Amino acid sequence: MSTDRRYPATIAAAVENELIVKKSRFIARIEPVSDAADADAVIAGIRKRFWDARHNCSAMITGLLGDQARSSDDGEPSGTAGMPMLEVLRRREITDVVAVVTRYFGGVKLGAGGLVRAYSTAVSEALDLANLMRRESLTQVSVDVPHGDAGRYDNLLRDWAGHHGAMPGEPRYAAAATLELWVPAAELSALADELAAASAGAVAPVVGVERIVDVAV
């Protein structure tokens, strides 16, 4: 796993927004998903919910690197709905999301350009309501300290984490107290220096595994 790689973001929870264009209703719903099968289930659920709508167009991007994508015009002229929706998701640099825009026809034709604008705007305005989750590769670090010093080092590590993009983990208590942090790779040496300074060289971090975590923006 590359520690220098930049990963696309995702969203924290589903969002929904409605847009009216020349009497047509465009209801955009965007949900976080784990994979393409999950996205298909979301699309099926929205089709059932809006069974009487003329179109339920969709676009999805999945995969940690956002390398899997699919879209559907669902009866709209080719290239006027699903692909414009997908391009909005790509421009926002997000993954593991599915967008569905339900259209109730209002009786006025919009033309190809009007449809592209309506579907892309519907997705863009819905995304403006979403809370983004940044994805980062963090490294597990364990710090063993005597029980009597656990409180002091816990406070030190939490304060350090808040200034270095790290996340506190779950402490464990056995013969010694084991404190845990999830740390960006670039900050590992800074953490070692901080602990060495605080303990006169007696405490050193033990580096463990890496994992991808979602962090609120």
Summarised one tens digit per residue, pLDDT across range 63-98 is: 999 999 999 999 999 999 999 999 999 999 999 999
CA distance 92 to 141: 32
SS3 category, 197: helix
Summarised one tens digit per residue, pLDDT across range 99-155 is: 999 999 998 999 999 999 999 999 999 999 999 998 888 999 999 999 988 999 999
pTM, full prediction: 0.79
Summarised one tens digit per residue, pLDDT across range 167-187 is: 888 898 988 899 999 998 889
200-208: average pLDDT: 89
Taking alpha carbons only, the member of 184, 206, 203, 183 closest to residue 193 is 203
CA distance 63 to 59: 14
Residue 164 CA, chain-centre distance (Å), reads 20
Looking at residue 129, its pLDDT comes to 96
SS3 category, 183: strand
End-to-end CA distance of the chain: 23
CA distance 20 to 44: 23
Only one residue has tokens 């190809």, namely: 112
Residues 6+ apart with CB under 8 A from 198: 153, 156
Looking at residue 3, its pLDDT comes to 47
